[in-house]
Structure 1
């Protein structure tokens, strides 16, 4: 779902696994002018070595023994953040009567958002862009999304 023009008053969610920006197009489809409506940031996430103190577990099946992989706490936190963004987005869309939503995120974050998004928000999505733009200035995001 790419190369769709972003009309006036449409919302654009620009996100990654740690930060999300909800933008509103106050310009036209040809001259985008984004206004930041909301910024959502993930809480600080300590290194995995500080979060998990135990060694990886072991399992035995018959005469075979093997170790289990260590839990990746950063990946768990990224999944929680995507879920939190999806549920906040549901509330925002309902309260503000949003009809068109464009999503911009790196491929993995886009997949996580798509998976966590409730059906009430999924039907509002007009286009998805697999790009990492969340840390760029607003003017650069506008340039990258103008077609």
Structure 2
């Protein structure tokens, strides 16, 4: 069973915002403090697209097929997760934390798992596939403690 220890780093993230939190106490009575935040502006795909999707010649006479346009919004989400994994690596390499808990939206967590360096994975105590970024800090404490108790 995973447990929160004093000074555990907790990262709560979605595809546009990351909260870096420290647990200042123990598992029985966690007390979280936000130490840093990362934000990324990520407008909808329509706002980021330059023009309508392209077309190409098809096999039939006078036929054309539409091409899917790049989904810039999804690419930005993946880029944010990759950037976050780089931040975690730098912090782990500096010795900023010994224990890490990540609570992330499921699709972000999937990208993070692929991108995280082994040094970060070695410090990972638990990953929770939930989006908690818009919860108050007291609720985040409660949910994470409950999730870890359920392991």
* Structure 1, 46-55 or 135-144: larger mean CA deviation: 46-55
Q: Aligned partners of 1:67, 1:119: CA distance in 2, in Å?
A: 42
* Cross-structure match for 1:19: 17
| Unmatched segments (≥5 aa) in structure 1 | none
* Cross-structure match for 2:47: 50
| Unmatched segments (≥5 aa) in structure 2 | none
Deviation at 1:60, TM superposition (A): 4.3
1:23-78 superposed Cα distances (whole Å, 9 cap, x missing partner): 11111111101111211111x23333332222222344654853221211111111
Provide runs of 4+ in structure 1 moved above 4 Å.
Answer: 60-65
Deviation at 1:116, TM superposition (A): 2.0
**The residue matched to 2:103 in structure 1 has which SS?**
strand
Q: Aligned partners of 2:97, 2:65: CA distance in 1, in Å?
A: 51
**The residue matched to 1:98 in structure 2 has which SS?**
coil
RMSD: 1.8
How many residues matched? 144
